[in-house]
Amino acid sequence: MKNKVILSITLSLIMLGFSSNLFAEDKKEATAEEKTTSSKPATHKVEKKAKSEEKTSETKETKTEENVVEKTPAPAKKKFTPSTPFTGVHSLRGESELIAPAEATHTKQSPSDRPPIARNYFQQPPLVPHRIRGYKITINNNKCMSCHSWKNYKKARATKVSQTHFADRDGNAQSTLAARRYFCNQCHVPQVDAKPLIENSFKPVSQLK
């Protein structure tokens, strides 16, 4: 019995020692894990700090560059100086500049009626020797035909319409005015005795004099 008791005591002591050793080893492993986990966030924080410092340095550099760009003055624009001085535009408007007001033109008085005006070249449309203000040419009425038609020209003592005005574009003769010759003032215009705007050296055909 004594031997059994001694054996049980010794076994219990051995078990207690073994368990204590295991417990100590577990503690060591836990502390080592805690240390590693605690070191990781510290390194992560260090990395975050480094990145934030890099960003701040980049923003500072960009700000300094912007300040330098703002401080540098813009290059002065060169003024255009023409090689020849501007003396005005030579046109029918006169020698005044485009931005300057031009002199008002004098109204020309067209004569009420006068003899036919001589032609200056062959196939020239005859000029109108009287006023045509107020004359209307519509689809239903042509004021010119009240005097120049073949029916009325003798009574009005006017020039009758040419026979060419009755031919269509294909050359076919017809009894009424052709549509392409119906609007008289497309070719026939009145004239007034006015000073020419530009000197003209034109001379009419001698055979028409």
pLDDT tens-digit series, residues 51-93: 666 666 666 555 555 554 455 666 666 666 666 666 655 666 5
- Over residues 142-171, the mean pLDDT reads 93
CA 178 to CA 206: how far, in whole Å?
32
Question: Does 108 map to a domain?
Answer: no
Q: Which own/partner pairs from 108-114 qualify as long-range (CB within 8 Å, at least 24 positions apart)? A: 108/192, 108/194, 109/192, 110/190, 110/191, 110/192, 111/192
Are residues 61 and 118 located together in one domain of the fold? no
Give me the sign of the Cα torsion angle 19, 22, 24, 27.
negative
Q: DSSP letter for 147, please.
A: H
- 39 vs 203: which has the higher pLDDT: 203
Range of the domain at 202: 114-209
Check which CATH number belongs to the domain holding 144 and give it.
1.10.1130.10
Question: Does 60 map to a domain?
Answer: yes
What integer pLDDT is reported at residue 125 of this predicted model? Answer: 92
Question: Does 79 map to a domain?
Answer: no
The tally of domains found in the chain comes to 2
Question: Does 77 map to a domain?
Answer: no
Two tokens at 166?
A: 């009755």
